[in-house]
Structures are given as structure tokens and as C-alpha cells.
């Protein structure tokens, strides 16, 4: 390769032929292209190599794969249309750089579920029938998993459509599979009391902060990642507010929430008491919740969830995920007749999503309020 001569990376000229080199199985292999070394063909060789190198990010290229790609006619050589693999990478690059968890998830889905079908295909040649075939042949464990896999696939085609690479979306009429969501399963007030009483009496010294964490979870409704990312700078004691603007994902603080919206949640008396004690324990750090044993911020909410399950077993309360502390707070607000829009904001939901999730409790409370009119009627 002679880049000083102005050739594209990985391209060189030998006599009247053009060669590209591609790493295969840890070794750099050279492949001679079936056309002469004109400036146009040298430039096209660079594009072909770049496309093959992009494919290497998604699949294990073999010598046969490269030879098949190199054995092209002049007509095919002139086809500069983007491949699916090209736009899959562009789509990943377009995602919010702060949300590494989502990017990692979507990259895994694209690599494992869609690249085996579409990696080397021109985007414009992919039809709805091909997408349906790939969807049917993929081994999805559930309808929800299939729906999740469609999200980045749609993202790739949406980006190509915006860039006018394709004229129609092959996913336009691909519908999500129907799923049945489980109803929230909150803890009852006496269950919450039993859980927190046990934690307060048994989690002492370095474990006290575990108890304070779960009081916070029960009485703010924050998502676990939001709680573990919150800083003292986010707390406004005088106005009884906490700013929720980031979340913890894969051990790293991401500068956005799940919904990409900042909210300022209300802090009740129970939470203010927790903050008073936390100030004594963690006020020297920027983060509210840290390990009192290591003096470092927590990065594993799943470990706290394991401790939570141990408590449920000891106090003989039916096992439910620690995430249900959040559901408990939502239903507590509804049982207290707090306005639905105010409760939705506190939880970080739009009103439609909140109403769908907690419809059972909303309808129950509305019915009770309406039926009370009978007691005071003529």
C-alpha cells in the first residue's frame, strides 16, 4: 500500500492491477480486484474495502466472503448505494453518546438478529417480505423481545429514509406483536412498614445506608438508576425538591433520564428525614448514596435488590422485585387522592403512560370518590 501516492487506505496498485488488503483471522490478506488500475477503479476499490471493513464489525469475514465481494463486474462496481451494514453503523453513531447502555443493547441486537440477514445487502433492495422472513426466522424468546429487536431495525431504515437513501420504509407495515403486561404489584402499607422496620433494626453501622436507600425508594418513586445517580447538588431542601436529570446505567452515570426529560420531584417529610441522616453520612461526597464500607458511589443496584429479597423472606412477605417500591409510591399517591397529572409528573411519566400502567388504581379511586356522593345526597 502506498498512501503517499494518494491511494485510499488499504489499497495498492501492482502493475496494471488493483489490490486491497483485509485482515482475516488475525492475518492481513491481499485480494486482487478484476479491473485495471484507473483512478476511478482505485477510488472504487477504496469504497469496497471500507464496506468490507465495516462488515468486519458485525460478522467474522472469511476469505470466501471477501473473494465473492471482489468478484464483481464493472456494472456492479459502479453501484455506490449504501449497504445495510453501513447505515447500521451510522445509526449507532447517531445515538446519544451519553446513553452507552442503549447503544450497547442496540448494537447487540443488530449484530445478532439482523446482520446475518441484511449486512451485505443494499438498503434499497430490502423489501417488507424480507423483513417479515427475517422476523419469522429469528429465535425470539418472547413477543416483547421481538418488539424490542424491531426498535433498532426501524431506526436504521428511518435514518436511511431521512437521508433519501430509500423511498419507502420496509418496516412501515411491520406491526409489533401483542404482549400482555403484568399489572403493577405494589406492597401494601402494612407490608411496607414491616419491611422498613426490619431494615431499620437490623441494618446498622455500614449497612444503615441500605435502609435509607429503601426509604427513599418507597417514598419518592424514583427508578433505581435515578436514585444512584443523584448528587447533593440536585437537592433543594428549602423548596423540598430534588432534580432528576440523569441515571446510572452499566455502572456509569448517563446525563439523561429514561424519558430524556428533567423533572423536579417533591420531597415529603419522610424523605427529608432521610436526607438529614444522609448529610451526616455522605455529605462529604458528591453522590447521595455511596458504600459506607468503601466510601465509593454504588454502581450495582442489583446487589441492593438481592438484599431486599432476603428481607422479604425473613419477614414472610410474598416475593416481589425491589422495583415494586416505585409502584408502591405511585399507588400510595393515588390512594391519597393526589391528582393523576401530579402523580404522573412525580413518577416521570406522561399522563397517558401513567394512566395505562395504573388504570386499576385510578379507576378504583375515581369510583370511590363518585360513590361517596351518594352518602351525602338527598
Alpha carbon separation from 58 to 30, 113, 358 (Å, rounded): 21, 11, 41
Do 278 and 284 touch, CB atoms closer than 8 A? no
Rounded distance between C-alpha atoms, residue 214 and residue 235, angstroms: 18
List, for residues 314-346, the tens digit of each pLDDT value. Answer: 999 999 999 999 999 999 999 888 999 999 999
The model's confidence at residue 75, banded by pLDDT at 50, 70 and 90, is very low
Using alpha carbons only, give the angle 166, 167, 168 rounded to the nearest 5 degrees: 100
Q: What share of the chain is helix, strand, coil (3-state, %, to 5)?
A: 55, 10, 35
**Percent of the chain surpassing pLDDT 70:** 91
Query: Distance between CA 81 and CA 93 in Å, rounded?
Result: 19
Residue 342: strand, helix, or coil: helix
**pTM for the predicted model, two decimal places:** 0.64
- Please give the Cα distance from 267 to 357 (Å, whole number): 23
pLDDT band at residue 58 under the 50/70/90 scheme: confident
What integer pLDDT is reported at residue 76 of this predicted model? 42
In contact, 285 and 297? CB cutoff 8 Å: yes
Tell me how far CA of residue 267 lies from CA of 5, 151, 249, 335, in angstroms: 67, 36, 24, 18
Interval 178-219: pLDDT, tens: 776 778 999 999 999 999 999 999 999 999 999 999 999 999
Q: Bridge-partner residues for 17, per DSSP?
A: 14, 36
Distance CA 37, CA 83 (A): 24
Report d(CA 371, CA 378) in Å as an integer. Answer: 14
77 pLDDT tier (thresholds 50, 70, 90) = very low
Amino acid at each position: 500500500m502506498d498512501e503517499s501516492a494518494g491511494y485510499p487506505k488499504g489499497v495498492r496498485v501492482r502493475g496494471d492491477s488493483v489490490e486491497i488488503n483485509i485482515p482475516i483471522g488475525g492475518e492481513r490478506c491481499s485480494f486482487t480486484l478484476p479491473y485495471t488500475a484507473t483512478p476511478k477503479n482505485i477510488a472504487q476499490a477504496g469504497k469496497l474495502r471500507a464496506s468490507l471493513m465495516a462488515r468486519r464489525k458485525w460478522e467474522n469475514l472469511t476469505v470466501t466472503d471477501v473473494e465473492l465481494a471482489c468478484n464483481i463486474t464493472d456494472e456492479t462496481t459502479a453501484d455506490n448505494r449504501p449497504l445495510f451494514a453501513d447505515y447500521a453503523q451510522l445509526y449507532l453513531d447517531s445515538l446519544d453518546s451519553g446513553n452507552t447502555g442503549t447503544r450497547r443493547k442496540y448494537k447487540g441486537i443488530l449484530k445478532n438478529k439482523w446482520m446475518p440477514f441484511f449486512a451485505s445487502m443494499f438498503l434499497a433492495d430490502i423489501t417488507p417480505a424480507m423483513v417479515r422472513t427475517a422476523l419469522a426466522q429469528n429465535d425470539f424468546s418472547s413477543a416483547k423481545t421481538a418488539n424490542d429487536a424491531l426498535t433498532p431495525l426501524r431506526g436504521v431504515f428511518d435514518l436511511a429514509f431521512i437521508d433519501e437513501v430509500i423511498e419507502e420504509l420496509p418496516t412501515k407495515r411491520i406491526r409489533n406483536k401483542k404482549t400482555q403486561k403484568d399489572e403493577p404489584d405494589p406492597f401494601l402499607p402494612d407490608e411496607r412498614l414491616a419491611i422498613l422496620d426490619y431494615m431499620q433494626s437490623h441494618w446498622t453501622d455500614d449497612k444503615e445506608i441500605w435502609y435509607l436507600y429503601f426509604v427513599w425508594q418507597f417514598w419518592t418513586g424514583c427508578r433505581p438508576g435515578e436514585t444512584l445517580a443523584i448528587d447533593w447538588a440536585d437537592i433543594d431542601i428549602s423548596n423540598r425538591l430534588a432534580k432528576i436529570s440523569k441515571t446510572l446505567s452499566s455502572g456509569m452515570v448517563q446525563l439523561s433520564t429514561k424519558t430524556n426529560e428533567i423533572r423536579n420531584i417533591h420531597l415529603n417529610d419522610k424523605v427529608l428525614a432521610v436526607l438529614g441522616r444522609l448529610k451526616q453520612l455522605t455529605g462529604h461526597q458528591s453522590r447521595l448514596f455511596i458504600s459506607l464500607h468503601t466510601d465509593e458511589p454504588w454502581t450495582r443496584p442489583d446487589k441492593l435488590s438481592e438484599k431486599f429479597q432476603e428481607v422479604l423472606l425473613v419477614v414472610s412477605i410474598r416475593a416481589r422485585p425491589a422495583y415494586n417500591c416505585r409502584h408502591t409510591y405511585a399507588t400510595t399517591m393515588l390512594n391519597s387522592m393526589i391528582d393523576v397529572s401530579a402523580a404522573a409528573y412525580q413518577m416521570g411519566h406522561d399522563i397517558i403512560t401513567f394512566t395505562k400502567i395504573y388504570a386499576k388504581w385510578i379507576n378504583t379511586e375515581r369510583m370511590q370518590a363518585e360513590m361517596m356522593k351518594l352518602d351525602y345526597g338527598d
